[in-house]
Amino acid sequence: MPTDPIDDDILTGSNIQSLLRQNEQTIHYTEQIFEQMHTGIKQSGQMALLIDSEGTIIHTVGDIDFSRRALAVQLQVGANWAERRKGTNAIGVALAEKKPVRVHAEEHYFNSNHFLTCASAPVFNSIGELIGIINISGKQENYHAYTFTLACMAAHSLQNKILLEESKKEHLITLRELEHSSLHHPLPLLSLSRDHRILRANHAAVRIVGSDAIGKVFTKLDGFSVETIHNEHQKLWQSVSIQKQAANEQHLYAFRDIVGTCPTIIQKKELAKKAAATDFPVLLLGESGVGKELFAQSIHTASPRSVEPFIAMNCSAIPDSLVESELFGYARGAFTGANKDGNAGKFEAAHKGTIFLDEIGDMPLRAQAALLRVLQESTITPVGSAKSKAIDIRVIAATNKDLTTEIKAGRFRADLYYRLKGIHITLPSLRERSDILTLAVHLLQKHASPCPFITEAAQQKLLTYSWPGNIRELSGILMQAVFLAGGHEIDAEHLSFEESDEAVQAGSGKDHPLTLKDAEITAIKNALKASEWNLSKAAGQLKIGRTTLYRKIEEYGITLF
């Protein structure tokens, strides 16, 4: 309840000392800024605070009398003011929304904090990561209009100090970040000295010029263009980038195509981005239709191998007798009906790039043994040939089966499983996601222009369906709905689900339909669970205000913490 705030444990002793050491440099810069503000803050009966990225207060200055009153609500070093702990407050909201905010008096969630008026502003590092919050708090009757502006200015000053100190340590200009999309892969980049010696090279460039090229004079290659970069002192360097892909080259999905606001899918997307920067094998797990190939292509597109081939193979669609020839190719005259000149297999076609083995759980055991040998030795032997070929590939595999169960049943090799699961990512089913409506709108924008409106009844129907076919089924149902709606809004009658699943959805039948109240409770609980009880995020997913969410939590008796 709002009258019962959580009385958190305050960090003390070695725990707070460790946290202060971790933030020592930031605290040092903040002390310099607060020293200039101290007189004004003290005279106005307020206090200034520095909070770390997790919501814990790590430094304070200000009026002694107010500081004593603040101790009663744990506005002190070592206390955590994240929104999940203290309800609506300026520190918690600024952390969640990453923008300046003022919270006045009764706008605080807990009654005990209503005597406060607080202004907070976020602080970011040089790569845009939130590293802390500057907060100015005081009694509501002592609030001054300039407090919000002062908090923003202090945060901006701290941010500039951090950026300035980082720039002093830099001796070379950082190469500009290059965006990529499904139509434009990441580019190999080199940094050259004034005499054209290679100073730095990203992974994609190393694959072209060689790992021993650093320090050597760069000789311009076909397809490379040179752009001069200089700083204010006219100290010149040069960057070199490979030209864009030709129009006839394959265009693959990229991470920007993976749409969703659900915390789970965002976390999986971030994990996949990290995996893309490595060369480890990746195993994508999840039900049919959750987007495993979309993730596979995005990983390749963001990887150092992005300019090389991406070869996909559905292991369940090829007859047992042809799997090895498809994977490893075959020599001339290898078998009756074979191409007279032989044929390169998928692995050879993917040389220096990525091979995507979809439905790996359906691969025959004989082919599994051959695949394991290739992964261990990095060589292939075409069917009918005694000559081996060295290959350099990155393997991404995917399946909708539980491979540990398949191993126990003797249908999948344990040694191959452990070789493939270098990095394993399990994608959530659609019914486990909290952003079904967001995804539905995105898909509708692809199916129709302008995007048709989805009525509340249709929204409830989308939210309560179990989605056995996941995103693939959602896309198909929405395509049908656009057709049936004929350019008008999409209502519940336009959503044609499988009859068997509608029966399950309806429970005991038409006599007991799902009420709006039940649907709201289910949606709120799902959003709170998906956002790990981050109330700002949950409210954002539900497309309602935080105040409305609080009211409904109390109205329906949903346990907050």
Residues 379 and 492 grouped into a single domain: no
250: exposed, middle or buried (Cβ count in 10 Å: 0-12, 13-18, 19+): exposed
What pLDDT, on the 0 to 100 scale, is given for residue 118?
94
On the question of pLDDT at 218 being above 80, the answer is no
**pLDDT (average), residues 2-31:** 83
479-534 confidence digits (pLDDT tens): 999 888 888 899 999 998 864 444 444 443 444 455 677 777 888 888 887 777 77
149 or 247: which carries more pLDDT confidence? Answer: 149
CA distance 206 to 196: 16
Residue 129: Cβ within 10 Å count: 8
192, part of any domain? yes
pLDDT band, residue 36 (cuts 50/70/90):
confident
Tell me the residue type at 211.
S
Residues 6+ apart with CB under 8 A from 116: 73, 75, 89, 103, 105, 108, 137, 138, 139, 140
Residue 163 lies in a domain: yes
- pLDDT value at position 237? 46
Under the banding of pLDDT at 50, 70 and 90, the label for residue 221 is low
Could you tell me if 344 and 200 lie in one domain?
no
Tell me, what's the pLDDT at 187?
56
Strand pairing class (354-358; 310-314):
parallel
**How many domains is the chain built from?**
4
Q: What's the CA gap between 136 and 1, in Å, rounded? A: 26
pLDDT band at residue 214 under the 50/70/90 scheme: confident
Question: Does 183 reside within a domain?
Answer: yes
Could you tell me which residues come within 8 angstroms of residue 192 by beta carbon, excluding any fewer than 6 positions away? 198, 199, 218, 226, 237, 238, 239, 240
Whole domain around residue 534: which residue ranges? 431-556
Q: What is the CATH number of the domain that holds 227?
A: 3.30.450
Asked if residue 266 is part of any domain, the answer here is yes
In this structure, the answer to whether residues 344 and 217 fall within a common structural domain is: no
Contacts 24+ apart (CB under 8 A), 12-15: 12/78
For residue 561, being part of any structural domain is answered with no
Query: Cβ(363)–Cβ(382) under 8 Å?
Result: no
Do 188 and 308 fall within a single domain?
no
CATH code, domain with 271: 3.40.50.300
Q: Given a cut of 60, is residue 561 above it in pLDDT?
A: no
pLDDT category, 233, cuts 50, 70, 90? very low
Residues above pLDDT 90, as percent of the chain: 44
- Asked if pLDDT for residue 195 goes beyond 80, the answer is no
Whether 429 contacts 470, CB under 8 Å: yes
Work out the pLDDT band at 28, boundaries 50, 70, 90. very high
What is the DSSP code string of 238-250? EEEEEPPPPTTS-
Q: Check whether 51 has a pLDDT greater than 90.
A: yes
State whether the Cα torsion 503-505-509-513 is positive or negative: negative
Q: Calculate mean pLDDT across residues 544-549.
A: 79
Lowest mean pLDDT among 191-205, 234-248, 332-346: 234-248
**How many other C-beta atoms are found inside a 10 Å radius of the C-beta of residue 461?**
23
How far CA 169 is from CA of 101, 194, 490, in Å, comes to 33, 20, 57
Residue ending a domain, among 152, 168, 184, is: 168
Phi/psi for 134 (5° steps) reads -100, 130
Any residues with CB less than 8 A from the CB of 51 and at least 6 apart, and which?
Answer: 57, 58, 81, 91, 95, 120, 132, 133, 134, 135
Helix/strand/coil for 11? coil
Same-domain check for residues 535 and 445:
yes
Distances (CA, A) of 535 to 129, 541, 547: 21, 10, 10
Task: Check whether residue 261 and residue 382 sit in a common domain.
Answer: yes
Tell me, yes or no, whether 411 and 459 share the same domain: no
CATH of the domain at 477: 1.10.8.60
Q: Looking at the domain assignment, is residue 2 inside a domain?
A: no
How large is the average pLDDT for residues 421-428?
A: 93
- 305 contacts 313 by C-beta, under 8 angstroms: no
Q: In the predicted model, what is the mean pLDDT of residues 221-240?
A: 51
Q: Are 95 and 68 in contact (CB under 8 A)?
A: no
The verdict on residue 4 lying in a domain is: no
Mean pLDDT lowest among 93-107, 158-172, 309-323, 471-485: 158-172
Final residue of a domain: which of 218, 233, 250?
Answer: 250
Residues 309 and 416 reside in one and the same domain: yes
Q: Is the pLDDT of residue 303 over 90?
A: yes
Task: For residues 119 and 84, state if they share a domain.
Answer: yes
Nearest Cα residue to 383 out of 424, 418, 337:
337
377 φ/ψ angles, rounded to the nearest 5 degrees: -105, -10
Over residues 192-217, the mean pLDDT reads: 71
Residue 86 burial (10 A CB sphere; 0-12, 13-18, 19+): buried
pLDDT tier for residue 234 given thresholds of 50, 70 and 90:
very low
How do residues 112-162 score in pLDDT, each as one tens digit?
999 999 999 999 987 888 999 999 999 988 877 788 989 999 999 999 888
CATH number reported for the structural domain that contains residue 153 in this entry = 3.30.450.40
Residue 21 CB neighbours (<10 A): 9
Comparison of pLDDT for 228 and 269, the residue scoring more: 269
Instruction: Look at residue 394 in the predicted model and tell me its pLDDT.
Output: 95
Both 417 and 446 in a single domain? no
In a domain, 8, yes or no: no
Among 140, 168, 196, the domain-final residue is 168
Residue among 487, 306, 327, 470 at smallest CA distance from 391: 327
Residues 293 and 415 in one domain: yes
With beta carbons less than 8 A apart as the criterion, state whether 5 and 110 touch.
yes
For residue 197, the model assigns a pLDDT of: 77
Nearest to 269 by CA among 472, 401, 427: 427
Q: Are residues 241 and 280 in the same domain?
A: no
Give residue 552's pLDDT band: very low, low, confident or very high (50, 70, 90).
confident
Query: How much is the average pLDDT of 366-375?
Result: 87
Which of 367, 358, 360, 355 is closest to 395 using CA atoms?
A: 355
Higher pLDDT, residue 544 or 500: 544
Q: pLDDT > 70: what percent of the chain?
A: 80
In this model, does residue 554 exceed pLDDT 90?
A: no
Helix (H, G, I), strand (E, B) or coil at 176: coil
The per-residue pLDDT of the chain, averaged, comes to 81
